[in-house]
Amino acid sequence: METEQVDALLLPFVRAADDVESERLLSSLITEHAAPIVTKIVNYKIHGSLPAASRGESVTEAEDVCGEVMLQLLQRLRHLRSNYASRPIGNFDSYVAVTTYNACDRHISRKYPQRRRLKNGLRYLLTHRAGLALWQDEQFKWVGGLRHWQTGAPVKRTETEAPAHGKPGATRRLQLLRDDPRAFARDIEVQPQWNDPKHAYELLSAIFAWTNEPIELDLLTGVVASWWNVTDETIEVDAGSDSDRQTETAGPQVVDTRPDAAIETERHIYLNRLWDEISQLPPRQRSALLLNLRDENGRGVVDLWMIVGIATPAAVAAVLGMTVEEFAGLWSELPLDDNGIASLLGLTRQQVINLRKSARERLTRRMKDF
C-alpha cells in the first residue's frame, strides 16, 4: 500500500530489479525530467533577477547551484529506492521545485546578505505603506506595485509598452529596466531625494509610474540596489576551513553524520507528534506559525518535516491551505514577517501575532509530556 504514495513517475526506478537498471532510470529522471525544472528556476532566481551588468558572474553561480541541487536529488532518490515506504515522494515535480527554490534562497542569503536585507525592507514597505501592495501574480511570483493594481484595475499601455517580442507577459519597459536599472531616469526628471533610502517610497512611486504595471520583487530589489549602490563583498561559499564550510551549510537540509540511533528515533517521534499537533491547529493559526517559523540564524525551516520524511510537500501545502504550486512559489520568500503574513491572509499584523501566540500556547500544552 505504501508504494501508492510514491509518484508514479518514480515507481519504475524504486521497483527496478537490479542496480544497473536502477542507475539507468535514475539518470533518466535527473537529466530528462528534473534538469529542465531546476535550470528554469535557477536561471530565474539567480540569473534573471540580477541586472545585466552582473549576469556574467551569475552564470557560474547558477551552474554551481544547479550542481548542488542535482547532487541533493541524486542522494535523495538513491535513499528513496532503499526506503521508499517510510519516506515517499508523492509529487516529484513539486519536490524538485521546492528543493531548487531552497538551494537558490540559501545561496542568495549567504552570498548577498545586503541584497537580502534590502529585499526584506522593500517587502515591509510594500505591505506597510498606504497605496502600495505586494501580492502573487497568476504564476505565483511575488510582485509589487500600486494597491489598485492588485484589485485587477486595467492598466492602459501605449504601443511602446506592448509586450516585448519573445517575452510573454513582459513589457518593453520592464525589459529595459531589467537591462538597465536606471532606464526610467531617462524619461523623467530625477529627484535628489531618490538617492536617500529614507525616501524609498518616492523612488518606488517614480518607478511604478514609469512602468505603469507591477514589478517582480526580485527585479525591483535589483533596481533599487543599483540605485542606492547596495553591494555585497564577494563571499566564496566554499572558502575557509572544513569546519567553516560545515557551519555555513549546516541545517536540516544537510545531514551527513547521524546521531545515536536511539536519540534519532526519539527526535523523529517528537517531530511526528509535533506535526500532528500543528495539523490540528485552526487554519489561520497554522499559517501564522509555519510561515514565520525560522532557525537561530533566521532562515525558514518549514521544510523540516519534509527533510525528515514526516510530511510531503503536498501535505505541508495542504496544512497551509495552499496548492503545491502556490507553496513552491512562496518557498523562496520564507520566513515571512508579520506584515507579509497579514497581507497574504487578509489580516492585520496584530491579528497575526495573536494567532501565532495562541498556536504556541496550545502546542506547549499539548507537547509538555514530550
Residue identified by cell 503574513 is 341
Decide: 200 and 122 in contact? Cβ < 8 Å: yes
**Which among 123, 301, 135, 297 has a CA at the least distance from the CA of 200?**
123
Decide: 220 and 227 in contact? Cβ < 8 Å: no
- Rounded to 5°, angle at Cα 58 from 217 and 233: 85
β-pair partners for 146: 132
Q: What is the pLDDT of residues 28-65, one digit of tens each?
A: 999 999 999 999 888 877 765 554 445 555 677 888 88
**Which among 217, 258, 56 has a CA at the least distance from the CA of 122?**
217
In sequence order, the 6+-apart residues with CB closer than 8 A to the CB of 164 are 170, 171, 172, 174, 175
CA distances from 301 to 233, 256, 298 (A): 26, 18, 9
- Please name the helix (run of DSSP H) or strand (run of DSSP E) that holds residue 178, with its range, or none: helix 172-179
Supply 350's cell numbers: 496584530
Q: What is the pLDDT of residues 311-350, one digit of tens each?
A: 777 788 888 888 877 777 777 678 888 888 998 888 899 9
Q: Would you give the distance in Å from CA 68 to the centre of its chain?
A: 16
β-pair partners for 135: 143
CA distance 63 to 46: 10
pTM recorded for the entire structure = 0.48
- How do the pLDDT tens digits run along the chain, 370 residues long? 344 478 889 889 988 888 889 889 998 999 999 999 999 888 877 765 554 445 555 677 888 888 888 888 888 888 888 776 556 788 888 888 888 888 887 787 777 778 878 888 888 888 888 888 888 777 667 889 998 888 654 444 443 444 433 333 447 888 888 888 888 888 888 888 888 888 889 999 999 999 999 998 888 988 898 888 887 643 333 323 333 333 333 222 222 333 444 455 566 677 888 888 898 999 999 999 999 988 665 667 777 777 667 777 778 888 888 887 777 777 767 888 888 899 888 889 999 999 999 999 998 888 876 5
Decide: 190 and 202 in contact? Cβ < 8 Å: no
Q: How many C-alpha atoms does 172 have within 13 Å on its Cβ side?
A: 7
